[in-house]
Structure 1
């Protein structure tokens, strides 16, 4: 593999060095199989490979998954909880999980969690952005259009976004401050 000029003084990677890099990476970051694989391939691209056989990236990733150093399902669940707290909708979560390389089977529970909490997430987003029942200024058509676009970009359905924008302070559950 080709080596980058910034890594000229470093030796090419062997199996042991590749495993050390993988251990360091999963020790620092919550990650997925796809992200760990991409990281190892990037390091191989940068430093090269010093082995007769092909680099054992897939074998290392699989072994780390079996040892639960990498758990795509747990990663998806944590991402769903975080996105819901921050006010993002199920569509935005699904897009992010696909980008993180998590397959449909491992992301199913996380997507269900996000769909079940979509109203609460939409309220959290509206509160943070001060739209809908949390608006502090009079609503004009232009501001309404921008708020709807923001809700849709955040991954909420059209129905939920419109419901939030039509909501009043009376529609906000007790315990959520305006």
Structure 2
């Protein structure tokens, strides 16, 4: 079981809960075939997870920060990031800490993290990458406005953030929103 966990962690960055789920699935399959004791398997899994954590293979705090940065860079809102990390079984304290650090990192140079809206930064990154709103050709911006609003809303951004971006007429005006 230890080797299964290590092999999984070599391939994927994962939370403690995600590794627990992988090991429990493997143990469940093995117990069906070999008629093992499920309680004994749970005990072993907990011991393996504790060992991996002591060895530094598992660190939910580091996982939460890395995943939050990655999701934000791909244009996910803080709400979507929080939801995704919770689904992966990351503890609420680790999620809060990761989102706080993310907000600090996303603040432009010389600005306080509390003055910067991390959702606006992520929404701009997503709109830029997908060529939504002000990054569309000017002649088609109006006809695609509803579609762009829907795309940003599906990413978890508030209607206020979406409107700010889509009300900008060109990319420079949209980027200037960060300076406000």
Bin the TM-score by the shorter chain. 0.7 to 0.9
Question: Distance in 1 between the 2:98 and 2:169 partners?
Answer: 30
**Residue 84 of structure 1: aligned partner:** 72
The answer as to whether partners of 2:134 and 2:141 remain within 8 angstroms in 1 is no
Q: Pick from 13, 18, 31 the counterpart of residue 30 of structure 1.
A: 13
- How far off is 1:116 after superposition? 4.7
Q: Shift in Å at residue 140 of structure 1?
A: 3.5
| Contiguous gaps of at least 5 residues in structure 1 | 1-17
Q: How does 1:57-72 map to 2 (within 5 A)?
A: 57-72=45-60
Q: 1:159 to 1:123 in 2, by over 3 A?
A: same
Deviation at 1:50, TM superposition (A): 7.4
What is the CA-CA distance between 1:33 and the residue it aligns to?
A: 0.5
Report the CA distance between 1:63 and its aligned residue.
Answer: 2.0
* Bigger proportion of residues as helix: 2
- In the other structure, the counterpart of 1:159 is 160
Q: Could you give the per-residue CA deviations for residues 129-165 of structure 1, whole angstroms, max 9, x where no partner exists? A: 2212111242336x22221121111121221111111
Bigger CA radius of gyration: 1
Gapped regions of structure 2 (runs ≥ 5): 104-115
The answer for the alignment partner of 2:175 in structure 1 is 173
Q: Take 1:126 and 1:120, find their aligned partners in 2: how far apart are those partners?
A: 10
TM-score, normalised via structure 2 length: 0.77
Deviations 1:59-107 (A, max 9, x none): 2112212222111111111111111211111111111101111011011
Q: 1:29 to 1:69 in 2, by over 3 A?
A: same
8 Å Cα contact 1:93/1:155 also seen in 2: no
TM-score, normalised with respect to structure 1: 0.78
Q: CA RMSD in A?
A: 2.2
> In 2, Cα distance between the equivalents of 1:91 and 1:166?
23
Q: What residue number does 2:94 align with? A: 106
Change over 3 Å in CA distance of 1:91–1:116 after alignment to 2: same
Displacement of 1:110 in angstroms is 2.1
